[in-house]
Structure 1
Amino acid sequence: ILRYAINLVCSMGADGGHSPVRTCPVHSVPLVREPGRGRGNLFLDLAAHMPDEARLAKLAEIGKQRRVSELQSYLEARLEGRPGPEWLDGQLIDLASRASEMLGACIAFGPNANLPNLSQADWDLAGEVGYEFTRRGPEGVREGLEAVQSKTPCSKIQAGPQGVFGVLYEWIQFKKNRKPIGPFREVFREHILETMPIGAGTILFGEPVVQRRRHSVVSLSQKFGVHPRTVQNALMVADLLPADYDAKRDFGAIDVARSEDLLRRMRRSVPISEVPKYLGCKRPQVAQLIEAGMLKPIAGCRDGRRSIAQGVDANDLDSFVNRLRSFGQPISEPSEGVLGIANAAEALKVPAVKIVELLLQRQLTGVELLDEELRYQSVLVDVAEVGEKLGCRTGSPGKSISDVARKLGLSANSVDFLLRTPPDGMEPVLTICGQTRHMGQMRDLVSPASVDRFKLDYQKITDVATRMATTVPEARRKLKSRGILPVWEPKTAGVELYRTSEF
């Protein structure tokens, strides 16, 4: 009577399934359906509808051995008042049975199984398979749905939920009666929205989808008007697609927020090759900024793909310039000792990105700002302050020994001699004003003012000869005859110098 009651309660169950009790637990044989022979009340006179004992004995003898399914055991125990899996116990018994069998049928026989043609043995297997997932609640149901998805043969063109889930989807989406589906419906609906590209407004299981949760390459391409191949490359570079992505099986499990943000940034993309012009700086400086992470390509670092996703978002570039110009004194003409970032970096022999770091961290005080249309070049810094902050320059701004040597037409050794050796007990004619770091060492800087004074106060013998319009030996003889001798011993100084004031 108990098993008959289960079959009666669940007889309106899964399409084609009829009822979940299909095995005799006493004889371990499949139950056989035969029409009743009497018209008596079913519950008052069951014997009137049963075959005779001889017929029953024969059926028991010829029946194949089969164990009772876990689903049948659960349903029998439930009607006896024993607790089972919490999620199944929380719903009507026929809904729990139907959901288990329908899920199991699609897992065991495929999403496009012909349900009316399934035998009772097939439905018994379906219930057994489905119960293994439904007994574990929503998490188990989602695993079962993933199992159905993994077996679907459809391509991306057919990859809507109907193409993927087949009769399982049709059972709920196109139901013609008002019989409830139960909690399985919500779990199934959420799974579709979380794993497939369902657009807002789509009617799914009788309700409109409020907001899209997943995209496919195709849906992104259509929404933003970007070629699918470009979208695919960008998503892969941004790690939004798996490395083994197969375009023929694109079911659309791409995160909406991240992918749409990526596509919007792509539409604002400035190609890497055009970033220097956009910012108003040179290519090496852009390379430094990207390497330091201050500018970031839209879809990450290059990986060999040529794509607009390798550009930089114009909004990011504007934001970068605004941050550089976020403090400082607007001016029309630069002050003494103040240079643009690139020129200051060249003067200090440091990467420009080091100066940018100081600016972004607001560690500089002597910042001046030209017209904002100059963008990167509009920001000027105090070279001496930057050098001190970076530990690459001390004292006052000056010229390197090699620069002074070129300007005066002397050797570096002669300049070094003039810095160390004063004439006749006086102060050295060239003076050190500070130091700068070069090739890992601190090197002296020469005061520009002392260089200018030296050019006025001293001349080489070659300059004197030119002034006298004669040869060097003749000029030397004439000077000696007038008692004018070199200020330093030429062999020691490396140059023959005379005081201009003595001519």
Structure 2
Amino acid sequence: MTRLPLTVPLHADETPMSFVSRLGARHGVPMAKLCSDFGLSFRGVVNGDAGTLRRAARLAGADPDVLLDAAFVLSGSNLWSRRGTLLHRTVLRRERIAICPACALGDVAAEPKLRPIAAIYGRACWLLAPVRTCHLHRIPLTVVEKVDRPQRTHDFAWHSALLVPRLQEHVAAAVPRDPGALETYVLGRLEGKAVSPLLDPMPLASAVRLCETAGAVALSGPKVDIKALSADERLAAGGRGCEAITAGPEAFRALLADLMSQAAARRRMDGPSVAFGRLNDLLQLTGGEEAFDVPREILRDFVVANMPIAAGRKILGRVVGPRRLHTVHTLAQAHNVHRKTLRKHLKAAGLLADRHAAFSDHNVRIEAKAGSKIARQLEGTLSKAAAMEMINIPRAQMDVLVKAGLIIPQRSMDRFAAHDRYAIRDLERFMARLTARAVPAPAKDKRFRQIPTVAKICCCSAAEVVRLVLRGKVRTQINRYRYGYQGVHVELSGVRKAVRRPDTGGLSMRRAARAIGTSDLVLEALIAGGQVASFVGANPVNRCPQKLVARKEVARFKAKYVSLWRLSKQRRTHIATLKERLDRAGIKPAFDPDTVGARFYLLRQVKPRPRGR
């Protein structure tokens, strides 16, 4: 193969893509054009093909072993290897180029005879996505903006040319920073250094993902949006996670304990997502990947040992055995015991200390076997679902009666931040009062209906109907085919009479409009214009507020005005003919027809005069 007349020096840490791109820049052609002209496979250069790189080295008179040593070799679908380290595409910059502006200025100064774009070379570490800092100059790498020109994707010299005019500006604006633990670890892995018994056996991409996720949760909380992190935030997260995990499994457990202690003191700690959030999500979603087996097992064991996980529940793909821990909340639920009472008995048994008084019921953890022994002695209340079943009441009706104070929970949700519980004796007392005056119902007595049906027909609340029953204001019957609340039938007419409100003395908009002899829309316009007065009153049936017009107001308006429509009916004249006659007589409407939407006239102007005058 003919050797090129012009060449560039090959550096030990330079990528083949950078070297071939600089060769092209030395001859004033793009990387793809150089490869095409000299029979080199562009893809072979990008994917580290050994034969292609040897021909490129001979073409430039460079050492092929140096070029091969720095290559990222395609080793499978989305996988590359360098010096024996397997790298997934997620930890590589394949479509964007990162450059240290200070290193670039140093390259230009070191090769004054070359054009800047031919002098600046791409370091292998710049292709690693987790590396965002120059370890030599301690400043952030500058990532060249992505351009929509696929043929230039891997052309390093072409990308560096976009930064050359502003290299000094980037160096001046750069804020010095520490590369962080994760970047240092990644570069060490690339050099074959073994430093972490937990991370080293994992593929580099998996180790980076674990560190960044754990660090993000530690810095920003369990619900942190990993994808929304900026480059600086991801750098900080990766460094924090790597520092905490590198030492090995025990260090990872210490991090988990720290994350658990950071959770709000009164949050229910009944699953790994509460404290570990995105970290738990990561290990859950990667259940089929062996790379995460060790950290997944560590997290699973930690959760089972330190959280109140029920037996049979699946945690990170594995079913949990017998429960080890209870909280006051789970123990109370398991035995239908009021938690306040449960706390007193647990304290008397020595299972709770004084300091637990400040803890949420969800965060007071108790040894399961000892706690269950105490709770079995305290059973006696029902959950809302069980209480509804006991008295045969639908949920909607139960909620109405609870809100009205007719059924009172033994433990209030607002006060205890948990689900209400109802004493059996209170429910029995309520049903006894509800059925105290009821008589057996004869077959098919349509005068009596169920409480929800009566409330709907009478446009009132079921709580009002129940109060009438409890006060003995209406007659009741017991349906032999139903039990409990739904078996109580109430006299419809009695409830209707009791809940009806007195008439307000006004007409509805529809009735007022018909009385005046116009439409609803015209009446609305008359009210808006002040020609008709209205007021808001309660409907006597459904008690909803509605706009009304007093009967006196309707009479007043009709005594003073008449619509063209009603006048035409009175005179038995076509409305258009009558309008023409009124116009010829110079009689104008009392209100602007365009505003009101109809024609009204003063009655005294259109009323015929008596004969003989």
How would you bin the TM-score normalised by the shorter chain? 0.3 to 0.5
TM-score, with length taken from structure 1:
0.45
TM-score, with length taken from structure 2:
0.38
